[in-house]
Structure 1
Amino acid sequence: MSRLSSSCLVALGFLFLFSIIPIRDAPAQAANDIADVQAASHAFYEALASESIGDAMAGVWAHKPYVTNVGPRSKSVVVGWDAVSQYWIETEKKVASVNMAIEAPHLHVIGDFAWEIGEEIGEVTMQDGTVRQAELLATNVFERIDGQWLMVSHHASRKPEQ
């Protein structure tokens, strides 16, 4: 068999193979990923509003040594699941309730990573009954681990005074 004939047979084989294997629809997949990340973000804010913040956060965060958190009361970057978990347990002791949402987030997904940036708006009621209005700038980073989108980084800080 000539080299040209062999090349043609290989090309025809690939054409046949690609005609019977469904090709993943990239735009549809991206839309599904965006919806799944939005659901993960919503779960984070539901956990923040939970009466048991520490327990609720355990379900939305990756339990990895590389996760990070910077909250409005942070003095440094909190690194690792054990430390991040402790941060949320301490938060639960200080607040009576949290009602926050991320407004108009800018969300982007690349492969198994996603991030959203926006303004967290809401209010926090402290254990002493003091109510604080909150307007924060926030960045949330998610990683898809075993098919589930989990938070791997959260940064929320006060907006600069105008």
Structure 2
Amino acid sequence: MTATEKSILIALGSNLSHPTWGAPPAILMAAIEMLAQAGVSTRRCSSIWRSAAWPDPTDPPYANAVIAVATLLPPVDLLAALHRIEAAFGRARGKLNAPRTLDIDLIAYGSLVHDGADGPQLPHPRTQDRAFVLRPLAEVDPAWRHPISGTGIAALLAALPPDQTCVLWGD
């Protein structure tokens, strides 16, 4: 990422298969293709990581990825596009932290900080607490710094509690 290019970061997760798109890793790739159709161009894509479901680790594990994107959409319109894509994959918002075919979060929109009063909360409020976001994010943008704390990705990863783990999907 160049100094003049804003780092727009999106996290994707899935832990339920879909009859059309298949297993969670395939769902993530299909969602990235759908993002392109919505005017969101992927610049970099992480590997796919596997993490345990939370709060119930007996639920299927999640496939997770982070992408760095370019778009002309402002944050509020980008979030609306993400929600439309989730719905196209059968995402029904209901029980918090329930298994899902697709979850897409806007993690950061450059260095923008927003309280979420009239648009998305930026950066995503739990980014710094989630290995399944930080590990793939480190692949995509190793120089990224949290827009509020200024903490770099390596320090954020080092600060994670030991129970926050994820591994590459095939491992």
Length-normalised TM-score, structure 1 = 0.25
Larger radius of gyration between Structure 1 and Structure 2:
1
Name the structure where helix makes up a greater proportion of residues. Answer: 1
Length-normalised TM-score, structure 2 = 0.24
Of structures 1 and 2, the one with the larger relative CO (CA 8 A, separation 6+) is 2
Name the structure where strand makes up a greater proportion of residues. Answer: 1
